């Protein structure tokens, strides 16, 4: 009778990137003659190292216990010869489903587990001024807030992917909450209903059916757009409005003038 081994063991080698095995216990997965430590020390006689390549990382989790995942790599300065870092169930599932487990991605788990290491790594990959998001004054209006976000996005696009990922390691996961001023128009509900009725469930720009119906009342979801914006002196009239799909609405506001869907 085959004994079920609940501890899942995935070895990442230089050649074989996701070698599957299992163990009876976490202790065995880490320390026995076929565990991670023996694997890294080339003591696992069952492994063809010439075929699989040098072992780099091992991921271990108990399939019975959500949140039990960890990744280890060799570190002879540690008492057990291994450096440990937690791995989320979501990341494990991503790798299990076939996503490539790159060395860069796997090393990030250790950096997250060690903030001082993450900061040192950030300095190591720094490309100069571009790796630090520009310091901008606190926005006072919603428009300034959006303008600053777009400026920071351009900064982020101007650095290497490695520098950006390392910067993420030391970034706060809680966004700063601020209050900004905003200007709004009290719109005529009759104009909105008339324009939506005229559209009869089809975008008045691309002529396609509305992409979905509203959960609140089951009506086709279209957005009423002012041809001459209210902010530029346009009138809130049926003649100055059209019912369009979200995609066309975004295109109206953000696309280049000669760009079509």
Question: Secondary structure of the chain: what % helix, strand, coil (to 5)?
Answer: 40, 15, 45
Distance of CA 29 to the CA centre of its chain: 30
Question: Over the stretch 2-38, which tens digit does the pLDDT of each residue have?
Answer: 567 899 999 999 999 999 999 999 999 999 899 999 9
Residues above pLDDT 70, as percent of the chain: 87
> Exposure of 171 by Cβ count < 10 A (0-12 exposed, 13-18 middle, 19+ buried)?
exposed
Strand-pair category, 7-13 with 19-23: antiparallel
Question: Over the stretch 95-132, which tens digit does the pLDDT of each residue have?
Answer: 999 877 888 889 888 887 775 555 555 555 444 444 45
Which residues are within 8 A (CB) of 202 and not within 5 positions of it... i.e. 6 or more apart? 208, 209, 210, 220
Question: Over the stretch 168-222, which tens digit does the pLDDT of each residue have?
Answer: 776 767 777 888 888 899 999 999 999 999 999 999 999 999 999 999 999 999 9
pLDDT-wise least confident of 43-57, 80-94, 139-153? 139-153
CA geometry: angle 60, 5, 70, nearest 5 deg: 10
pLDDT-wise least confident of 39-43, 85-89, 97-101, 230-234? 97-101
Instruction: Please tell me which residue, 27 or 1, carries the higher pLDDT value.
Output: 27
- At residue 139, the pLDDT reads 80
> Exposure of 111 by Cβ count < 10 A (0-12 exposed, 13-18 middle, 19+ buried)?
buried
What's the pLDDT band for 226 if we cut at 50, 70, 90?
A: very high
Pairwise CA distance, residues 43 & 81, whole Å: 14
Kindly list the domain boundaries of the chain, sorted by start residue: 7-100, 118-169, 189-254
Pairwise CA distance, residues 121 & 105, whole Å: 14
- At residue 261, the pLDDT reads 46
Pairwise CA distance, residues 222 & 214, whole Å: 9
CATH architecture of 189-254: 3-Layer(aba) Sandwich (3.40)
Pairwise CA distance, residues 32 & 43, whole Å: 10
Pairwise CA distance, residues 170 & 122, whole Å: 8
Spatial contact of 52 and 16, defined as CB atoms under 8 Å apart: yes
Pairwise CA distance, residues 120 & 126, whole Å: 10
pLDDT-wise least confident of 73-77, 160-164, 228-232? 160-164
Pairwise CA distance, residues 154 & 150, whole Å: 6
The reported pTM is 0.48
- At residue 251, the pLDDT reads 93
- At residue 259, the pLDDT reads 56
Instruction: Please tell me which residue, 240 or 135, carries the higher pLDDT value.
Output: 240
For the chain, give the mean pLDDT.
86
- At residue 128, the pLDDT reads 47
Which residues are within 8 A (CB) of 17 and not within 5 positions of it... i.e. 6 or more apart? 100, 101
- At residue 110, the pLDDT reads 86
> Is the pLDDT confidence value at 258 over 60?
no
- At residue 137, the pLDDT reads 73
Question: What does DSSP assign to residue 220?
Answer: B
Q: What average pLDDT does range 222-239 have in this prediction?
A: 95
């Amino acid at each position: 009778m085959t004994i079920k081994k609940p501890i899942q063991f995935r070895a990442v080698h230089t050649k074989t990137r996701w070698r599957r095995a299992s163990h009876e216990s976490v202790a065995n997965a880490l320390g026995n003659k076929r565990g991670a430590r023996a694997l890294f020390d080339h003591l696992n006689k069952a492994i063809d190292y010439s075929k699989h390549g040098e072992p780099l990382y091992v991921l271990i989790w108990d399939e019975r216990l959500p949140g039990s995942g960890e990744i280890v790599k060799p570190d002879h300065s540690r008492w057990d010869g291994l450096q440990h870092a937690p791995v989320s169930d979501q990341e494990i599932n991503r790798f299990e489903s076939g996503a490539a487990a790159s060395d860069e991605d796997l090393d990030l788990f250790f950096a997250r587990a060690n903030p001082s290491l993450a900061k040192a790594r950030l300095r190591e990959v720094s490309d100069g001024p571009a790796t630090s998001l520009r310091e901008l004054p606190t926005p006072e209006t919603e428009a300034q807030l959006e303008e600053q976000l777009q400026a920071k996005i351009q900064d982020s696009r101007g650095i290497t992917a490695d520098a950006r990922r390392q910067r993420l390691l030391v970034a706060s996961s809680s966004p700063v909450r601020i209050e900004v001023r905003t200007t709004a128009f009290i719109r005529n509900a009759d104009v909105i209903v008339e324009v939506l009725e005229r559209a009869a469930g089809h975008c008045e720009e691309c002529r396609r059916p509305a992409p979905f119906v509203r959960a609140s009342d089951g009506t086709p979801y279209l957005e009423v757009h002012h041809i001459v914006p209210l902010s530029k002196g346009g009138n809130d009239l049926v003649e100055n409005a059209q019912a369009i799909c979200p995609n066309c609405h975004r295109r109206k506001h953000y696309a280049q003038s000669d760009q079509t869907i």
